[in-house]
Amino acid sequence: DAKTTQPNSMESNEEEPVHLPCNHSTISGTDYIHWYRQLPSQGPEYVIHGLTSNVNNRMASLAIAEDRKSSTLILHRATLRDAAVYYCILRGLTGGGNKLTFGTGTQLKVEL
């Protein structure tokens, strides 16, 4: 599986935008970029995913670089509830594409 690289931790103030980066220089053409997050003492939850084009949903936006070697998860207005570990995951269409391969993620801290 292609690997992703994320900063160990980031901090933000409440109601400010947050940009969480992810590098995936060995991504293959059929790998989708998925983001999950894990709140304290809970299982992970799906946030967003994309292939080539930028994506928006009610939780966040995903900006994908033109060469697809990096992506950024954007939380438009962070709240205290967004404090979690955010995982950037590459997921292929074949072979082991059904499982999620988690790294250590980025611990996001949100302060008042």
Partner 1 sequence: GAGVSQTPSNKVTEKGKYVELRCDPISGHTALYWYRQSLGQGPEFLIYFQGTGAADDSGLPNDRFFAVRPEGSVSTLKIQRTERGDSAVYLCASSRYGGGEQFFGPGTRLTVL
**Least spacing, CB of residue 13 vs partner 1, in Å:** 26
- What's the one-letter identity of residue 63? A
Question: How would you class 59 by CB atoms within 10 Å of its CB: exposed for 0-12, middle for 13-18, buried for 19 or more?
Answer: middle
Neighbouring CB atoms inside 10 A of 110's CB total 20
**Least spacing, CB of residue 68 vs partner 1, in Å:** 19
Q: Which is nearer to partner 1, 6 or 70 (CB)?
A: 6
CA distance 20 to 5: 11
**Least spacing, CB of residue 6 vs partner 1, in Å:** 10
- Contacts to partner 1 by CB under 8 A: 36, 41-46, 49, 85, 87, 91, 93, 96-105
Q: Which is nearer to partner 1, 13 or 57 (CB)?
A: 57
